[in-house]
Structure 1
């Protein structure tokens, strides 16, 4: 599963795809975390914008 490690948040889709093919692990959770964190930040900025 070494292909998934070191993937930057912007490549979350690739990371999630790679992880799905091999095994669910911490990297997939990190990808979802970055994904939802990004959405939260955009919503926060939109509300306060």
Structure 2
């Protein structure tokens, strides 16, 4: 990745929470809820 992005892999502290590196991911959203947003059997099976 080169020396330009080495800070991405360094630890980070935000409001007292330590992160091992600066790479984060949003939770996956399989879009398996029904039209009203309720959990479906497919949603349960996914997790």
TM tier, shorter chain? under 0.3
With CA pairs under 8 Å and 6+ residues apart, which has the higher RCO, 1 or 2?
1
Query: Normalising to structure 1: TM-score of the pair?
Result: 0.24
More helix by share: 1
Larger radius of gyration between Structure 1 and Structure 2: 2
